[in-house]
Structure 1
Amino acid sequence: MRHTRIAAALIALAPLATPAAANEFEDSLRALARDQLAAIAADPAVVAAVKAQNAAGAPDQARIDQLDADWRAQVGTASAPLVDEVAGRPASRVLADARDASEGLITEAFAMDHVGLNVAVSDPTSDYWQGDEAKWRQTYKVGADAIHISDVELDESTQTYQSQVSLPVVDPDGGAPIGAVTFGINVELLQ
Structure 2
Amino acid sequence: MKINTTGKSVAEIVTNNVFKPLNFTETGWYGEINEKLVAVVRKPNDPNWTISKSTNGDKMNMYVSSRELAKWGYFHLKKGDINGKQIVPNEIIDIATTVQSPNSLDLELPQNGYLWFVKDLPAKKSEIGELVSKGCFQILGYTGVTLLVIPQHNLMAVRAFNSFGSPKGFDYLADVREFGNTIMTCLMN
Q: TM-score range by the shorter chain?
A: under 0.3
Relative contact order: is structure 1 or structure 2 higher (C-alpha 8 Å, sep ≥ 6)?
Answer: 1
**Comparing both structures, which one devotes a greater share of its residues to helix?**
1
